[in-house]
Structure 1
Amino acid sequence: HLSGGRFTLGVGYGWNVEEAADHGVEWSTRRDRVRDRMALMRALWADGPTGYEGAFGSVRASEAHPKPFQRPRGPVNGPRTLIGGGAGPKLFAHIAEYADGWLPIGGGGLTESLPKLRAAWEEAGRDPKGLQVVPYAVLPSPGKLSHYADLGIEEVVLQLPPADEPEVLRALDAYAAYL
């Protein structure tokens, strides 16, 4: 409620095998764990007490408060949820099942990937107008942003340098021309 519904939950499956092991996650189960945890959160975000029994977690007669500001959209309850990761049928099936869209890193290959994502989305019975694609870590240029707009993309997350304040401020000043 603090953001008035503007919060976006970005979800990823991880990329570092050693880091997953350090957190007790068997690499081969990471996608199933995320899917299960998302289902648990969605159950807790629903109205009233809920029970959930999943492969990696369960609750009985539980509630979570405060409830998300956003109302259910198809199978999605809770904040806008975007899944990050490389293009592929598994990722696209999961996006269509329990997310609002895709958070591709950098946005390369979108021309080829978007028709496949849209097909998975529609196969799942989702409203084509509801699919959101938000390229992440974008270095803006007029041509790139125009290309995204031509693909129906309305939002990007700009990349900032991992640097000190003066360098970050210079990057923000340069990006101002695109905003």
Structure 2
Amino acid sequence: MRLATTIFLTDETITPVALARELEQRGFAGLYLPEHTHIPVSRESPYPAGGELPAEYGRTLDPFVALGQAAAVTERLTLGTGITLIAQHDPIDLAKQVATLDHLSGGRFTLGIGYGWNVEEAADHGVDWSKRRALGHDRLALMRALWATEPTAYEGEYGSVRASTAYPKPVQEPRGPVTGPRTLIGGAAGPKLFARIAESADGWLPIGGRGLSQSVPELRRVWEAAGRDPQHLQVVPYAVLPSPGKLAHYADLGIEEVVLQLPPEPAPGVLRVLDAYAAHL
């Protein structure tokens, strides 16, 4: 089982360069970073985990800039977003960022996408909350037109692009319905999410990993009904606090990668946790 990590990197934590080097030296598989452009202080959206929103949400580094630094000082470490708030991006710009990072890292990038929870943040990006999922899927389709081998036009409900020369291309070859880097969709288990994953992704990025005994078989059923090869489905539990029993349970479900949560702290605190997690490698 591959053990990757995630962390809220901020202006007060360990740096991307220092963390990436330490992860690769210790044998961890990857680094995934979350995204929040800003957190409006007049917030009405409740924090999904309950209680007060932790300060790091309003201090996060841009994940693509931070992952670019991590890519430059490593050779094997995979890099990912957990998650990119795809509806909040201009899809042409995002397609270029993703393709550039994947190209420069030698194909080590995973695009984790999701729909968000902070209504106020999305609103400042001009996102109609009720349409954010449809908007996100439309933007992903537009991005894939730019990643296509031949110039490909796209006309969608929310955006369009002319057939264009657009390089670099993501490294990974098209596979089934998926063009571009390895793509995982985050979100709570449910028929709509699972149908979307089977239609347009490489797999699922569930937060925390609870309830997978029931949800993973259901996702596999939907996946196979869509004509996808069951061997290609990837389920990657995200932001996990590990224990031997939990990791063994994931392995029994056929899960091959788990993303462990690191604390948003300066280097000494992060490295202490990494040393503890190394026992699971």
TM-score calculated relative to the size of structure 2: 0.62
CA contact (8 A) 1:45 1:63 kept: no
Q: Deviations along 1:80-107, whole A, 9 cap, x unmatched?
A: 0000111111111110111000000111
After superposition, residues 96-115 of structure 1 pair within 5 angstroms as 96-115=198-217
Secondary structure, aligned partner of 1:115: helix
- Structure with more relative contact order (C-alpha pairs < 8 Å, separation 6 or more): 2
Q: CA deviation at 1:31?
A: 0.7
Secondary structure, aligned partner of 1:50: coil
Distance of 1:12 and 1:64 partners within structure 2 = 25
User: Which residue does the alignment assign to 1:31?
Assistant: 133
Q: How many positions carry a matched residue from both structures?
A: 179
Equivalent AA in structure 1 for residue 107 of structure 2: G
TM-score calculated relative to the size of structure 1: 0.97
User: Which residue does the alignment assign to 2:280?
Assistant: 178
Q: Identity of aligned pairs, percent?
A: 79
User: Which residue does the alignment assign to 1:8?
Assistant: 110
User: Which residue does the alignment assign to 2:232?
Assistant: 130
Unaligned runs of 5+ in 2: 1-102
Which of 164, 168, 172 aligns to 1:62? It is: 164
User: Which residue does the alignment assign to 2:58?
Assistant: none
Q: CA deviation at 1:4?
A: 2.4
After superposition, residues 37-52 of structure 1 pair within 5 angstroms as 37-52=139-154
Q: CA deviation at 1:56?
A: 1.0
Regions of 4+ moved over 4 Å: none
CA RMSD in angstroms, aligned pairs only: 0.9
Q: CA deviation at 1:5?
A: 2.0
Unaligned runs of 5+ in 1: none
Equivalent AA in structure 1 for residue 228 of structure 2: R
Which of 86, 97, 120 aligns to 1:18? It is: 120
